[in-house]
Amino acid sequence: MLRSKSLKKAGIFAYLLIAVNAISGFILGPTILSRVGTNIYGVYTTVNALVSTLMIADLGVSQTLIRFIADYKANRKEDIEISQFCKTVKAINYILVGIALIVGLVVYSIVPSIYKTTFSIDEIVTAQSLLLICLISIIATLLSNYYAGIIAGYGYFTYINITKTVSVLLKLVLSVTAVSVFEDVFIVVWINVVISVAVYLADLIFYKVCINIKLSFGFAQTKIFKAMSVYTLLIFVQTVVDQVNSNLDNIIIGAVAGSAAVAVYSFGLTIFHMFQQLSTSISQMLVPYMSDVVASGVGHLEIEDRLIKIGKIQYLIVGGIYFGFISIGREFIEIWLGPGYEEVWIVAVILMTGGLFPLIQNGAIALLKAKNLMGFRTATLFVAAMLNAVATIILVHYFGFVYASIGTALGFVVVNTIVMDVYYFKKLNLNMFRVLWNIVKKATLIDVICAMFSYLTKELLADQDICFNFIVSGLVFVVIYYPAVYYTVLTKIERTELFGRLSKR
């Protein structure tokens, strides 16, 4: 078991990784766009979406290894059992790599058929070439996940987070430099390949030096294999859902509306994914705190109060960003991407609106994990993902690519909020309406007032430089918002828990 200092260090690197990913998202995309043009960037984004779906073949290998190795070690199982389990997973991993390669080649062959009406001949050739190169990255990543899972299972989380952070930084620096000089999207993809292979080799070397499990004769016992299969199935379904929500819109838009539409929509998705990370990172930090309450056997009212406390903290951040983005997000988009990308703001606002309530209630997922009730949520999300796919095809075909975001947003509202809140009430006796109301009742009024003042400031400075206007309007929002929520939304106990001695001054 890791010591507290090691856990703290791992946590610091985990949040550093989130910050690095956000910076990379804001810098790399616009740089590639400005150098290669909207159409080629759209092709590049479409290929990324297609290739990312191949990660479904991972089947949660890394997560499966982490969970079962940790369980083996906690129960002081013999090394031979760990060895047999790892050998079983390794065999499965090789099979999955082969499947991913075959599926990738099939996708390569049908790209012309999928995009023949929306991509030019040159764009189709470019897409196929990029896809073949990206397959190398996928294979390296799938192989790397096996060793990364073992490394994390043995508690070397700091190494995992450092490796991820360094790889993202290298991709950012090398890609921005190379595409600025050569103005060629292929060099960005090749850089990604080299770094993916380097990460695989680094994980392999670290595994050999620090762990080096000797794979003995034989495979995992039938009982363990069945338990692993059930867990892997749940991870697989969750991966399918994540891939549908993250990449399907871009794939469909590319096939129906063309590469330029994909480029615009992808930036809206980028903003939304960063918005999601801000909330999920907080919930991950507070989930252990929540799990202790569940394990102690307290009543449902105290659990609701804990969910309210977690949700309030999340809402202070994502709620402020949501209303601030509504107020001055158009100006941010123009500064970030330049004129002509107004639809990015619309896409981002629709997705953020649909995801807002689920994000501030996701502390409840800890309850499902603690009580081993993830099956219903996984199945429900899978159904929602399939309905989202159908809705996206219809909406894009008849109304335009911007409307693809409506299907995804409705999925968040109907499934992640309404259906899951009913389930929480029926299964866990939790009144999620009470939870949600206590989270938003005070902060939302402050959000609206701050957004109005920020918007009025923006209008008063309409004749000024757009960067100056954005900065001043943003400062107006922040200067009013955070002191207001600090003193009116948070209780004294919550302020002390969050800010320690500073809150007593």
Given a contact cutoff of 8 angstroms between Cβ atoms, the answer to whether 420 and 374 are in contact is: no
Q: What is the pLDDT of residue 62?
A: 76
What single letter denotes the amino acid at residue 436? L
Segment 285-310 shows an average pLDDT of 71
Reply yes or no on whether the pLDDT at 1 is more than 50: no
CA of 138: how far to CAs of 100, 151, 325, in Å?
A: 8, 20, 35
Residue bearing tokens 């502390």: 363
SS3 string, 93-108, reads HHHHHHHHHHHHHHHH
Reply yes or no on whether the pLDDT at 344 is more than 80: yes
Q: What is the pLDDT of residue 255?
A: 84
**How high is the mean pLDDT of the chain?**
83
Give tens-digit pLDDT for 60-98. 777 777 777 766 666 655 566 777 778 888 888 888 889
Q: Which two tokens stand for residue 260?
A: 């330029």
Reply yes or no on whether the pLDDT at 410 is more than 70: yes
Q: What is the pLDDT of residue 122?
A: 94
In the structure, what pLDDT confidence band is assigned to residue 450 with cuts at 50, 70 and 90? very high
d(CA 317, CA 380) in angstroms, rounded, equals: 28
Given a contact cutoff of 8 angstroms between Cβ atoms, the answer to whether 226 and 68 are in contact is: no
Q: What is the pLDDT of residue 225?
A: 64
Q: What is the pLDDT of residue 268?
A: 92
In the structure, what pLDDT confidence band is assigned to residue 374 with cuts at 50, 70 and 90? confident
* 404 torsion bin: left (phi>0), alpha (psi -120 to 50), beta (else): alpha
Measured N-to-C along each axis, helices 38-53 and 249-256 cross at an angle, to the nearest 10 degrees, of 130
SS3 string, 55-72, reads HHHHCCHHHHHHHHHHHH
In the structure, what pLDDT confidence band is assigned to residue 224 with cuts at 50, 70 and 90? low
Give tens-digit pLDDT for 2-53. 444 554 555 566 667 777 888 888 899 899 998 999 899 999 999 988 888 8
Closest alpha carbon to 24 in 35, 32, 36: 32
Q: What is the pLDDT of residue 343?
A: 92
Give tens-digit pLDDT for 122-135. 999 999 999 999 99
Task: Provide, rounded to the nearest whole percent, the portion of the chain with pLDDT above 90.
Answer: 35
Reply yes or no on whether the pLDDT at 219 is more than 60: no
DSSP code at position 156: -
Long-range contacts of 120-126 (CB under 8 A, 24+ apart): 123/39, 123/40, 123/43, 123/259, 126/40, 126/43, 126/185
Reply yes or no on whether the pLDDT at 388 is more than 80: yes
pTM given for the model: 0.79
Residue 387's contacts (CB-CB under 8 Å, 6 or more residues apart) are: 407, 411
